[in-house]
Amino acid sequence: MPRLLKNNEVLENDYRILDSESADQAFAGTLLIPAKELSRYKKLLEQKQQPTGLFLDSDDEVESYADILSSFDLITINFPKFIDGRGYSLCRTLRDRYHYKGDIRAVGDVLIDQIFMLQRCGFSSYYLREDQKAEDAIKALDTFTLRYQGSSDDPEPLYRKRKAS
């Protein structure tokens, strides 16, 4: 069952994490290069014959990759556990400090309860855990109709909007 959510649509998985076993195999989707192995696949990134993405773990430092972020079509941020919130900060850093405009995808232990806040932080797609239903996740994107605080998806706080009208 598809568990990828993007633009309020349920899609098939379109990426594969690159490792030593799969590096030589043909694949039509996006190849994700683990940040910790980036130097190993530098040549592949330079040739870029297909979409490539950067796979960040929650303990990776975005600052280390700042000069090459724009060369990636997709950046995935892994949530190893539900309680690990570092992925939210990584996404905010990518959007707000480095102005990354591409797709930022939450992967790993991603639950429906997190979807709304992931969106607020700047995530644009989500790969759900197997026990989560994508249809429920789409509904969760609209959990709240009013957003008081500014965030990556809408930087203007509600009080400024009310003042303007």
pLDDT (0 to 100) of residue 146: 61
d(CA 19, CA 32): 9
- Over residues 84-135, the pLDDT tens digits come to 999 999 999 999 999 999 999 999 999 888 898 999 899 999 998 889 888 8
pLDDT (0 to 100) of residue 163: 65
pLDDT exceeds 60 at position 161: yes
pLDDT (0 to 100) of residue 47: 75
- Written as six digits, the tokens of 95 are 């959007």
Contacts of 108 (CB under 8 A, 6+ apart): 78, 79, 80, 87, 127
Q: Which residue has the higher pLDDT, 21 or 72?
A: 72
- Over residues 16-62, the pLDDT tens digits come to 888 756 555 555 677 889 999 888 887 777 776 778 899 999 999 99
d(CA 109, CA 81): 5
Closest to 102 measured CA to CA, from 141, 71, 127: 71
* pTM reported for the whole predicted model: 0.83
Q: Where are the beta strands (DSSP E) in 2-155?
A: 4-6, 9-11, 15-17, 30-34, 52-56, 74-79, 103-108, 125-127
pLDDT (0 to 100) of residue 51: 81
pLDDT (0 to 100) of residue 129: 87
pLDDT (0 to 100) of residue 98: 97
Residue 104, SS3 per DSSP: strand
Kindly write down the DSSP assignment for every residue of 1-30, as one continuous string: ---EEETTEEE---EEE--TTTTTS--SSE
Closest to 71 measured CA to CA, from 96, 89, 85, 51: 51
pLDDT (0 to 100) of residue 22: 58
pLDDT exceeds 60 at position 148: no
Question: What share of residues in the chain are helix, strand, coil (percent, to 5)?
Answer: 35, 20, 45
d(CA 24, CA 66): 27
**Residue that the structure tokens 């556990």 belong to:** 81
